[in-house]
Chain A
Amino acid sequence: MTTAARDILMPAEWRDFWALTKPRVMSLVVFTALCGLLAAPGHIHPIIAFTAILCIALGAGACGALNQWYEADVDAKMARTSRRPLPAGRMDREAALHFGIGLAAFSVGIMGVAVNWLSAGLLAFSIFFYSIVYTIWLKPNTPQNIVIGGAAGAFPPVIGWAAVTGDVTLLPVLLFAIIFLWTPPHFWALALFMKTDYGAAGIPMLPNVKGQRVTRNQIFGYTFPMAGAAILPFFLGESGWLYGITSMLLSGIFLVLAFRVWQNEATDAAAMKPEKQLFAFSILYLFLLFALFAFDRMVIA
């Protein structure tokens, strides 16, 4: 019996279950959900607010587990993901599936009972959308996978908002739009300098299917509506000057970086400095934008 065969018979470590939840993705989900919750008008008891954020975090963890369960074979082909618990043989797939379904059912159930059923319904739909529509349907079949799939990552601030107000108005839809329109430039910048990896796994990312020129055009093109959505809350009178000025400044920097990506003709990952800069800045952009929006709204309130 090989060592690998014996390893699979060992019970997985708790760290492997933790890794299944994609903690880094979860942290961004928790952050945007918290900003949506803090920006919403009205009052929510801190215990209920904590429960809402916990349920959103567990729902995100369920998405990560179900995604890794389904993509174990694909993950094994990419250097970036080959050391995850399933492709590395530290856990059997059935355990990951049960863990994901358990987390999903638990998070939606508690959200419904403790917070409200609208936020529970949105959470359930976002888990379904990420696990089924994105992971199983879109990702392996279309280079537009992350455009529509980005909707799954855009739900957390809406769920956070709905947890407080019990409804969904224009402002949470705008928060949704910001993340939805931010996702293509963010992921395609990564896909440009990680092209070889995605190609090896047979995932039809835009650079592999349509080429780098089309990808760079799309990145630059999506940046304009994204910047518009980011600035719109200020012009609608839903935020103060602090958010208004900083959102314009940050969006301006994003546009400049996206323009440099659009200008770049490099085909070698080593020469893709603008793409790497845009990817790094895009994370900072979303973090600052949402933090300032929540702070600004709290100051106004």
Chain B
Amino acid sequence: MTQPEHAPYTVEETALIRKRQAARSRIMGVALVGLCILFFLITVVKVGVWG
């Protein structure tokens, strides 16, 4: 397997990567929950539960 060409990350860089990953995960989580709610509401409207 080919190794990555960059040098190992420093402690500060690793912390920065984790911070960015965590922030992106939070945004993705919020977006997914929002979409779940939206799809549920679309389904309810489409099947005519609310008339």
Residues of A within 8 A of B (CB): 1, 5-6, 9-14, 45, 47-48, 50-51, 54, 114
Contacts and interface: CB of A to CB of B under 8 A. Distances in A.
Contact of B17 (A1, A10, A114): A10
29 contacts: A1-B6, A1-B7, A5-B6, A6-B6, A6-B13, A9-B6, A10-B13, A10-B16, A10-B20, A11-B17, A11-B21, A11-B24, A12-B20, A13-B20, A13-B23, A13-B24, A14-B20, A14-B27, A45-B45, A45-B50, A47-B38, A47-B41, A47-B42, A47-B44, A48-B45, A50-B38, A51-B38, A51-B42, A114-B42
Given A12-B20, A51-B38, A51-B42, 6 more contacts: A11-B17, A11-B20, A13-B24, A14-B20, A14-B27, A54-B38
A12 B20 CA distance: 7
Chain B contact surface mostly: helix
A14 B17 contact: no
Contacts of B24: 11, 13-14
Interface of B: 6-7, 13, 16-17, 20-21, 23-24, 27, 38, 41-42, 44-46, 50
Contacts, number: 37
